[in-house]
Amino acid sequence: VATDLGTDTRKVEQVKGPVSVRRPPGRSKTIQKYTPAEWDGIYKWYWLSYGVGLTGLKRLRVEPIDDVTFMTNKGETMDLCSYENAPLFLFRHSNGGLKFYNPIRESKREIKFVSNTNETDVYGLDLVPEGADCILTGGNKDVVTLCDHGVHAICLNSENAKLSPLLYVHIRRQVGNLT
């Protein structure tokens, strides 16, 4: 897995002793406010189409959201809203990171994700029992779908994230086989 993700395996082998993966200072975007929604209508339907039920969503800290206001890296304030056929969801990381997901966009120009997560955030790792086999997936939705069907799964903070040697060692010390 480390080689497949471009991690320098020579650096992984050099890591000895306890590993501390610290959250880097600052966040990529500042979440100013968001409005929770109820689990009904389009919110439930979206996840049921993947075979994911409400119990699994709550266990994985997925929440329906009406809207979110955030500040971009350029200092601009922007809003992202749910509407009739386009739900908005929050994936709440165990360390306080927030990732908002807009799965049904009308155009490729619309924002798909808004997050204040960092490169050390691994979604779902806290739910994997120590020593259990685990799949490293591309994104949060994959983690939710697999976990709700009994498969331990995790993902990095972004589908484009690089797995650093330190983060790889941190994950490997928690899980059994990593696929």
Tens-digit pLDDT profile for residues 22-40: 444 444 468 899 999 999 9
Coil vs helix vs strand at 92: strand
- The lowest-confidence range among 63-67, 104-108, 164-168 is 104-108
Q: Quote the CA–CA distance of 122 and 162 in Å, as a whole number.
A: 12
pTM for the structure as a whole: 0.82
Exposure string (b/e) for 98-137, b if CB count within 10 Å is 16 or more? bbbbbeeeeeeeeeebbbbbbbbbbbbbebbeeeeebbbb
Query: So what's the pLDDT on residue 23?
Result: 43
Q: Quote the CA–CA distance of 121 and 97 in Å, as a whole number.
A: 8
Coil vs helix vs strand at 22: coil
| DSSP 8-state secondary structure symbol assigned to residue 94 | T
